[in-house]
Amino acid sequence: MNATEKKKIVIATKNPGKARDFAVLFEPKGYEVVTLLDYPEIEDVEETGYTFEANARKKAETIAALLGMTVLADDSGICIDALDGQPGVFSARFAGGMKSDAANNAKVLAMLGSQENPSRKAHFHCTLVLAHPDRESLVVEGDIEGEIAEFPSGDNGFGYDPLFYLPHLGKTMAELSDTEKNQISHRANALKNLEKSWAAWLEKEAD
């Protein structure tokens, strides 16, 4: 690996917005952030794990081995108390078939609606895995607590954001600005935990 590659981090996503979140942490430290859009030859890694860590680890370690580079992957989802933690790792395709935010949200509301006075408590979870072929992967997590709203509200965000209500703010996640969301989200909290330990882990690359 040459010196340039040592200062490059691949974010295992094709979502530019998600990559920007990570760039805020890494670029000030002198690392170039790239995504899977820069490596179109790499096929999607199928998420077959039953935990957030298993899926994030599989993505990060598979792509790190293919490229011989540092790779950061995440797996995130919403866990609802009254649904025994569902959708969890199946959040993206909870309604089945192709990914559909509207269908997923509708299924959640229908399942809660079938219960008598269900708890509305829920949390968003994010697991980050930083991988390199030459060392043990670094794993961190982040969460944010909230409730499931009675109906979707807000146009900013994606996934379950319109349903995820934050009582202390009186808004759903989809009613927050990008700046507000990036300060308190599960991914933001995971990144804060990553920042506490990633520098020493990355420096081992130069050993």
Domains of the chain: 3-206 (3.90.950.10)
Q: What's residue 46's pLDDT?
A: 87
**Does residue 2 or residue 14 have the better pLDDT?**
14
Tell me if residue 190 falls in helix, strand or coil: helix
Q: Residue type at 78?
A: I
Query: Which one of 75, 84, 178, 207 is the catalytic residue?
Result: 75
The confidence score (pLDDT) of residue 3 equals 44
How confident is the model over 9-16, as a mean pLDDT? 89
**CA gap 79, 89 in Å, rounded:** 9
Alpha-carbon gap, residue 191 to 97, rounded angstroms: 31
End-to-end CA distance of the chain: 12
What are the tens digits of pLDDT across the range 140-179?
Answer: 999 999 999 999 999 988 899 999 999 999 999 999 998 8
Determine the pLDDT at residue 2: 43
- Cα(135)–Cα(194) distance, rounded to whole angstroms? 16
Residue 1 has pLDDT above 50, yes or no: no
User: Hey, is 43 helix, strand or coil?
Assistant: coil
Consult the annotation and say whether 76 binds a ligand.
Answer: yes
21 is catalytic: no
Question: For residue 205, what pLDDT is reported?
Answer: 57
CA angle centred on 1, ends 9 and 57, rounded to 5°? 45
pLDDT tens track for 121-142: 999 999 999 999 989 999 999 9
Q: Is 187 annotated as a binding residue?
A: yes
Q: Known binder of ligand: residue 160?
A: yes
13 annotated as a binding-site residue: yes
Please, which pLDDT band fits residue 82 given cuts at 50, 70 and 90? very high
The answer to the question of whether 158 is labelled as a binding residue is yes
The CB-side HSE value for 93 (13 A sphere, CA atoms) comes to: 5
14 is in an annotated binding site: yes
Checking if the pLDDT of 6 tops 70, the result is no
Q: What is the mean pLDDT of residues 189-202?
A: 87
